[in-house]
Every structure is written in C-alpha cells, then in structure tokens.
Amino acid sequence: MGVYVNSPAACTLYRNEVSRPYFVDKTQMLQELFPLVTEGGNYICITRPRRFGKTVMANMISSFFSKGQDMGDIFGRLVISGADGFRNFLNRYFVIHICLNELPRRCGSYEQYISRIEKKLLRDLKQEFPDVPVCEDDAVWDVLTEIYTGIPDARFIFVLDEWDFIFHRDFVTDEDKKLYLAFLSSLLKDKPYVLLAYMTGILPIAKYSSGSELNMFLEYTMASEERFSTCFGFTEAETDGIYGKYLERSQHPAVTRDGLREWYNGYQTCVGERVYNPRSVTGALVNNQLGNYWTSSGPYDEIFYYVQNNIADVREDLVRMVSGEAVHAQVREYAAVSMNLKTKNEIFSAMVVYGFLSCRNGRVFIPNQELMGQFADMLQKESSLGYVYRLAKESSRMLQATLAGDTETMEKILEYVHHTEIPLLHYNSETELAGMVNLIYLAARDSYRVEREDKAGTGYVDFIFYPATDRSADCLILELKVNATPKEAIRQIKDRRYALRFAGKLGEERRYAGRVLAVGISYDRASKKHKCEVEVLLPAGKCQNYITVNAEKA
C-alpha cells in the first residue's frame, strides 16, 4: 500500500463518512460501475459544483474496489450488498487514487506540482511491484505498461479527484495547462492497463476533448446527463430521511423541513429532479441552525470575482435575480473554463458551473436562500455596483423605519429608489413594484426569512418576513398595490387572515413572540407617488390566541 496505489486513506475517510449521523447511502452507484470494470478501458468524468459530494463518492469507489483494505464490514451493511456479484468486485482490484487538489510545500510552479505526483506514484509502484524494474527517470505510463506486460492481471482502476484544480492556480500558465492535459492523456488514453478511469471536477472537459487529449472520456454534468444524476447532492426523499433522523436526535429542533427547502434547494438534474447541497443540509442539522455552510470564507468575494469585469452588463440582471426573478441567459458550460470572463453569457455560464446560479429553460436564477444571502451581501458591500449599491445601503434604514411605523421615512426612501434608473421601476404591474420592494428590504435578509407570494390564510401574501434568528422580533406582512391605497392593502391582509401564517398549527408550540405588523405599500401612476401604512395587527405574543379564534373561519 502507498500514497496513491491501494492507499488506505480513502478507506479511512469513507469509514468516517459512514459513521456520521446524517450519512446518506449512495452505494447504488457502484452497481453501475460493475459492467464498466468488467469490460475494461472505460473513461467517465463527473462534473459538479463544489460541496456536492464528489470527493465522498471518489473515496467510496476507491475503498470498495481497492485491495488495500477489507471493507466488507462497511459495504456489507449498505445498499450495494444486495447487488448481484457484490462480493466479486469488493476489494479485488489495484486502485490508483490521486487527489489532484494537493500541492507540494511552497509550490510555485507547475513543474513542482506534477513532479510530486510522478515521484509519489513511481515510489508506490516500486513498492507494490518490487520485481518490476522502476527507475526514477522512467515515465509513469512506461512503468505501468511494464507492469502490465509482466503481470497481465495487473490492470488498474484510476480515481482522479478534482482534475481541474490546477487551472485555478495563479502560477499555472496556458502552456502548463497543455502540458497537464498531455500528462493525463499519456497516463490514461489507449492504455491496456486501464480498467476504469473515474475522474471528477467542476469544470467540464468538453472544451478540451474536442481535440485528442481527453476525448476518450464520457462526461456527466448535472445539467445535461441523467446517468449518475442522483448520486451527487441530496434528493427530496434523501433529505426527508435525514431530517427524520434529525427530529429523533434533537431535543429542541430549530430547523424546519421548509427551512431546508428554502435555504438549500434550487438545483435540479437534467430530468427535473430537485437536489440539495449536501454539505449545507448536514451542516444545518448538525448545528441545529440554518446558515451559510456552502463556502467557509469570502462569500461575496467569490461571486464578485465573476462579475467584476463587466459590472455594467450584469448589474440590472443581478437586481432582478435578487428580487426573485429569473433572467434570460445563453448558458454554455464550456464558457466557464476561461478565467477572463467578459460577456454576460460567459459570466452567468461560469456561475452556473460553479453552483452560484441555477439554470432552467434558458433562464438563470439564484437557487436558494443561502446563495441569495451571498448575492445580497455583495450588493451591500461592493461600491463599484454604483446606484445598486447605494440603494442596497438604504435597505437598513427602510427596515428600521417600517418597524418603527415611520411611514414618512419609508415614502421618502421609496421615492429615492424610484428616481434611480433601474429598469424594473416602470410599475406596469405589481410584479415590478415587488421587484423594487425586494431590493429595498435587502437588509432584512440578515435577520428574516423573506418569502414572496407565500400561502397564508385564505390567499397568497406578496411578502412575509419570518424572524430567522430572534423569535421575539416583529413579524411583517407586506401587501403591494398599484393605483390603490395602502389601506386597501392592509384590509386585504386582514380579510384574508394572512397572520395565520405566524401562528403555527393547533396544539403546536408558539413559534413567534413579537408583534405582527401589516404593511401596505401603494403606487399611484397618475401622481407618481408612493404611500405607506403600517398597522399593528397583533400585539406581541398574541399569535396563538389569534389562531384559536380564527381556526374555524380559515
């Protein structure tokens, strides 16, 4: 056993994964690999955004097939144990598993990076096959061919995790990228010692496989291929399952199933099945709190990286997406390989590939609350976004004025917003007014879960603000009207009993202890004026009484 050849590392990591409280068994994927291993000479590449389980699955594949350790005690109790031929494949093969996202100490060049991989692999092969002559100057593929020639059953399963990692390093030149692709091609292409090459990454290889280097790979992306589509990310059923475990384990569960859907759903397979970000879901359940678990640092910096080269072209679309709309875009996955993104379509293509946006029917949108928070963070912090930044900064003042019932300040802020150049503000419909309202209450997302057109009472309310961190905070219901009065908006809130949404169900512990405020916002096209009204619909702590009185009416 070595660092790369039949390494015990993947086995240890997968054992750890299986022991976690919210482990999801996806070993059914192995059964799809059985015929590929039997045939030999197969090449597949799985591309997904970060934190969608690529490394976990790579460790699973290595620990199942590798001769390095007996993993029967683990896989014998998982789904794959029921597959035909299970024992014929378990721990029977030579596996070369390379995590391509590891760098040597103080790495400053591609040569240092690739030399480390070659040296470690040659050392492992010499240790595993001591009777085969191995020289330090030999090419890795020559040594592997020598091994296969001398030992015909010495064929290998290659597991290469994060194949595109090196493309994100500042020290890597275009010439280095060509050398790297040539290295992968020389190692894998048309080699008799390859049983299966399983490769993962974020960037699609389509741009490269149009030539000759990597065109032997069949590529499986989330957007375009059904096969393996449910193996990465959590499906609705899988999320239901681990949420049930969470309720059993937690004495005081603070995360709701709807909360998981709001915060971490929004992605889908090519056939329309919804999938969740697995890292975020498990992070929320382990910590008993919804939050940003998708990336550990720099949430707004990462998004801004993609838009900074062409802010003018994407600014209005960003506003629309933050307001909850989807915008037209020609998404091409191969466009993301360029780090010098210029056009709007290139920028949005990259953001889809990296998981910051979702794409459906020719439109892109912000997939969930977790990512919405990152976009909102960028709008409030990045001054180069111009008037969008200035408007977002007003959102804190707007929230405070609303909570204080200061309608004069609210109307002044709305007039200020209206006199900017945002194309949304034609106000031909309440939908466009809603887009502006979503922006002007951007700061509320720090402390509220904001839902648009939520089912409440006997209808659908325009906006409802659920306290996310402080259950004693005030609850807000916003109703919008064009060419009507704010009093009519508030009357609708009352008549349709929208406040029931805060009360919970009969017999359920009270969810919210603050006041419920009804907020009416109107716009008159003739006078081009906004009017606001705020009314305390329910005093603090009265939600439960309200549902008792109104349950039969609803």
Residue 455 has pLDDT above 60, yes or no: no
Rounded mean pLDDT of 351-379?
Answer: 86
Question: Has residue 471 got a pLDDT over 90?
Answer: no
Whole-model pTM above 0.95?
A: no
Is the pLDDT assigned to residue 399 strictly greater than 50? yes
Q: What is the C-alpha separation between 65 and 94, in angstroms, rounded?
A: 8
Q: What is the pLDDT of residue 148?
A: 94
Q: What is the pLDDT of residues 241-254, one digit of tens each?
A: 999 999 999 998 98
Confidence of residue 127 (pLDDT cuts 50, 70, 90): very high
297 phi and psi angles, rounded to 5 deg: -155, 160
Amino acid at 441: Y
pLDDT at 335 over 70: no
pLDDT over 90 (residue 395)? no
Query: In angstroms, rounded to a whole number, what is the distance separating the alpha carbons of residues 399 and 379?
Result: 16
Local confidence band at 158 (pLDDT 50, 70, 90 cut-offs): very high
Mean pLDDT to the nearest integer, 92-121: 95
pLDDT at 73 (0 to 100): 96
Determine what percent of the chain is predicted with pLDDT higher than 90.
Answer: 48
pLDDT digits (tens, 9 = 90+) for 20-60: 999 999 999 999 999 999 999 999 999 988 888 999 999 99
pLDDT at 551 (0 to 100):
43
Higher-confidence residue of 548 and 69: namely 69
pLDDT at position 187 over 80: yes
pLDDT for 112 beyond 60: yes
- pLDDT band, residue 110 (cuts 50/70/90): very high
Q: Which residue has the higher pLDDT, 149 or 450?
A: 149
Distances (CA, A) of 283 to 97, 229, 294: 27, 22, 9
Q: Looking at the chain, how many residues does it have?
A: 554
Band (pLDDT 50/70/90 cuts) for residue 334 is low
Contact 212, 175 (CB under 8 A): no
The pair of three-digit structure tokens given for residue 130, joined into one six-digit string: 């001591």
- Buried b / exposed e over 312-325, threshold 16 CB at 10 Å, is eebbebbbbbbbbb
Q: How confident is the model over 484-508, as pLDDT tens digits?
A: 999 999 999 999 888 888 875 544 4
**Is the confidence at residue 336, as pLDDT, over 70?**
no
pLDDT band at 458 (very low <50, low <70, confident <90, very high): low
Reported as a single tens digit per residue, the pLDDT across 265-306 is: 988 887 788 899 999 999 999 999 888 887 654 556 778 877
> 10 to each of 6, 13, 51, 65, 128, how far by Cα in Å?
9, 5, 17, 11, 17
Bigger pLDDT: 420 vs 536: 536
Sign, Cα dihedral of 298, 299, 301, 303: positive
Give the torsion sign (CA, 333, 337, 339, 341): negative
Q: How confident is the model at residue 331 (pLDDT cuts 50, 70, 90)?
A: confident
Q: Which one has a higher pLDDT value, 30 or 315? A: 30
Query: What pLDDT sits at residue 507?
Result: 45
Segment 337-351 shows an average pLDDT of 77
